[in-house]
Every structure is written in C-alpha cells, then in structure tokens.
Amino acid sequence: MYVGHPLAFLITFSCYGSHLHGSEDGSVDRNHNVLGGPCVAPEPGLLRARAGQMAEPIYALNNARRRVVLAAIRQVCVHRGWLLIAAHVRMTHVHVVVSADLVPEIPMQAFKAYASRLLNVHERARIHRWTRHGSTRYLWKTENVAGAVRYVIDGQGEPMAVFLNTAP
C-alpha cells in the first residue's frame, strides 16, 4: 500500500461519440476498465441504441482543433502550477501525463473546460465535445511515469499534437 501522493497521473478522455459502446473499435465502461483487459464487446444493436441517444454529431479533432486543445492543456497547467510531463492530442481522444497535488479528476475537468473555452473562440459552441468522464491512472513510481510517457508519445501511432517536457 502506498502512502502519500502519486508522482503523476495518466489522464485520458475522448471526444463525444467517438467510442460508443458496441462499436467494432471497442469502448470501456465500468465493468471493462482494467489495464490490458477486454473492452465492451462489439454489438450492432447496442451501437445503434447508443448512436440514437446522441444529442449532437460525433466530435473529432482535426489538426487546427488539436493544436487548440494542446495549447489549452499547456495554459491550464501553467495557470494552476501543475507539471505537464507529456500530452498527445489525437483525432478522437487526448492523453495527458501530469503531476498535480490533488485527485486526477480535477485536472481532467480543467483540461476539458479550458479546451472547450478556447475552441469556442474558433468555432461554434457545442453542448458536447467530450465524453462524460475518462480514464485516470495513478503513477506511483518513476518507471510508471516513464512507461506512461512512452505510451502517450510513442504508442499512439503517427504523432499528431504532441508535447513532451524535456526539462530536467
């Protein structure tokens, strides 16, 4: 058992409608949220039901939007005094490795809020840009942080909007 605070968090959140339950790409829910574990099984009926419940079209991050989201993540970290270690903004989701002395849900919500405000400057406001929550993993050891950084920077395919803190 660990006492104290983790070194950092790996925070992941996705765009609205991009990972619907029942899709072939897979999704995660409360019962399918174990690292390396199975995703929600593809199921066309479930996918149709979830798509029918959507209030707005799927939201995706093109190149311009990715740059805005990355800028927002960097801004909130500077403003709140959090250490941004790595970030990778993809077309359908965002990964952030950040060190902050609080629960990871607070940075995740701040990243979404700052990004939405900045995106509103550049495009029509939406009710839904992000999924309701996301994934938060506590990184207790230096090797956990290093592994999360490798995953975020190198494990996502072709680099899109990327930040890697190279400061000592």
**pLDDT value, residue 126:** 81
- What mean pLDDT is predicted for residues 21-37? 57
Closest CA to 150 of 1, 10, 2: 10
Region(s) of the chain under CATH 3.30.70.1290? 8-17+57-164
Query: How distant, in Å, are the alpha carbons of 46, 50, 77, 104, 138 from that of 65?
Result: 30, 25, 19, 24, 28
What value does the mean pLDDT of the chain take? 85
Digit-coded pLDDT (tens) for 102-150: 999 999 999 999 999 999 999 988 889 998 889 999 999 999 999 999 9
Task: Give the pLDDT mean for 10-30.
Answer: 72
Residue range 2-7: average pLDDT?
74
Cβ proximity of 12 and 139 under 8 Å:
no
- Distance separating alpha carbons of residues 96 and 128, to the nearest angstrom: 20
Q: Does domain 8-17+57-164 have CATH number 3.30.70.1290?
A: yes
Strand, helix or coil for residue 139 = strand
Question: In the chain, at which residue ranges do the beta strands (DSSP E only) sit?
Answer: 8-14, 83-89, 93-99, 135-139, 161-164
Short-list 168, 13, 18, 9, CA closest to 86: 9
